[in-house]
Amino acid sequence: MKNQRILVAGGTGYIGSHTVVELQEAGYNVVIVDNLSNSNMEVIDGIEKITGVRPDFVQADCTDMPAMEKLFDSYPDIRGVINFAASKAVGESMEKPILYYRNNLNTLMNLLEQMAKHGTKGIVFSSSCTVYGEPDENPVTEAAPIKKATSPYGNTKQISEEIITEVISAGAPFKSVILRYFNPVGAHPSAEIGELPNGVPQNLLPYVTQAAMGIRKELSVFGDDYPTPDGSCIRDYINVVDLAKAHVIAVERMLEDKSDDKVEIFNLGTGNGVSVLELIDTFEKATGVTVPKKIVARRAGDIEKVWANPKHANEVLGWKAATPLADTMRSAWAWQQKLRERGIM
């Protein structure tokens, strides 16, 4: 059953590209749709180098309904969809809320409508631990309350989860697996694909690798006065290849009707809370490279601590984040070095 067709929306992006690799290695046929707003065609070469298979690629905007209609018409064998396509910069979403609501929600709604028309069995959706806000307790289970979103980006994830649930309870003929990622980091061990931040990185690890490379003068550690053991914020950093593998399991679960539930939600994290200072220390020890850094004031809106209870995914999906953090740090550094070799940054 593995040689079935999966549509990966946003498949040339960071998490999407790693997932396409895992899907192809598991024997699925992939068609990627991406508008290249935050990625580029070279990613396809990277995927081909790793897997020996060049995935089909359609350059189109998922908010363009006629283009989506044409895509589903040209690939009548699409059995499942994974939707990574979204704008994801929290700060930008505060400045351009309409762009975020339009892009993230119209993309999802267009895909859902086409799926219903074309008999697609299910959709895996990229959600986020951002839906939990500052949790009342850690580690966070899927039963933790959803907190009011603090950014339009975060709100698009909450609304998207509701749209999927409502469309399915209204009778749409497909299933969904909603995956709430914690903090995805690292790159494929081949260093053929990885994260390509646009401009000054907002996320921690890309900033760490760029500071280590000398592209940035120094990393600003946003606060060391939080009520945590070393005073810096705590997150659950999940290796991107481990994360990608969970999508393959989720797809198989929907396509093979392994669950009676039409909508399932899983946290994807390691279960380990790691502070900013611990992450930097792990990076330095794993790579032997020093990260120039200074402690600065807290960043507005930051969550103090959040990490996953991944028991539900461990037990129900049979999936576990397996990669040690030090290996993940080395993969991120190898990718940064590859970007330098290629003259990209």
Structure tokens that stand for 281 in this block = 């220390």
> Which residue in the set 207, 283, 307, 319 belongs to the binding site for ligand WQD (CB under 6 A)?
207
Within residues 43-62, the interface with ligand WQD by CB under 6 A covers: none
153 is catalytic: yes
Residue 109 binds to ligand NAD (criterion: CB under 6 A): no
> Which residue in the set 202, 228, 259, 282 belongs to the binding site for ligand WQD (CB under 6 A)?
202
> Which residue in the set 220, 259, 314, 323 belongs to the binding site for ligand WQD (CB under 6 A)?
220
Residue 283 binds to ligand WQD (criterion: CB under 6 A): no
- The residue type of 10 is G
**C-beta of 129: minimal distance to ligand WQD in Å?**
7
Residue 78 binds to ligand WQD (criterion: CB under 6 A): no
Residue 38 binds to ligand NAD (criterion: CB under 6 A): yes
- Residue 81 Cα distances to 263, 267, 291, angstroms: 14, 19, 39
Residue 13 binds to ligand NAD (criterion: CB under 6 A): yes
How far, in Å, CA of 279 to CA of 287, rounded?
12
How far, in Å, CA of 97 to CA of 266, rounded?
27
**C-beta of 203: minimal distance to ligand NAD in Å?**
6
Given the residues 14, 100, 153, 181, the one annotated as active site = 153
> Which residue in the set 172, 222, 284, 289 belongs to the binding site for ligand WQD (CB under 6 A)?
222
How far, in Å, CA of 153 to CA of 87, rounded?
8
Closer residue to ligand WQD in complex, CB, 120/328: 328
User: Could you tell me which stretch among 33-41, 65-73, 90-98, 274-282 binds ligand NAD (CB under 6 A)?
Assistant: 33-41
Residue 103 binds to ligand NAD (criterion: CB under 6 A): yes
Residue 210 binds to ligand NAD (criterion: CB under 6 A): no
**C-beta of 35: minimal distance to ligand NAD in Å?**
4
Q: Which does 299 bind (CB under 5 to 8 A by kind): ligand WQD, ligand NAD, none?
A: ligand WQD
Q: Which does 302 bind (CB under 5 to 8 A by kind): ligand NAD, ligand WQD, none?
A: ligand WQD
> Which residue in the set 6, 7, 8, 14 belongs to the binding site for ligand NAD (CB under 6 A)?
14
Closer residue to ligand WQD in complex, CB, 49/298: 298
Closer residue to ligand NAD in complex, CB, 14/174: 14
Q: Which of 123, 139, 228 is nearest to 182 (CA)?
A: 139
User: Could you tell me which stretch among 161-169, 178-186, 222-230, 250-258 binds ligand NAD (CB under 6 A)?
Assistant: 178-186
Structure tokens that stand for 53 in this block = 């298979």
**C-beta of 217: minimal distance to ligand NAD in Å?**
24
Residues belonging to the active site: 153
Interacting residues toward ligand NAD by CB under 6 A: 10, 12-16, 33-39, 61-63, 84-88, 103, 107, 126, 128, 181, 183-184
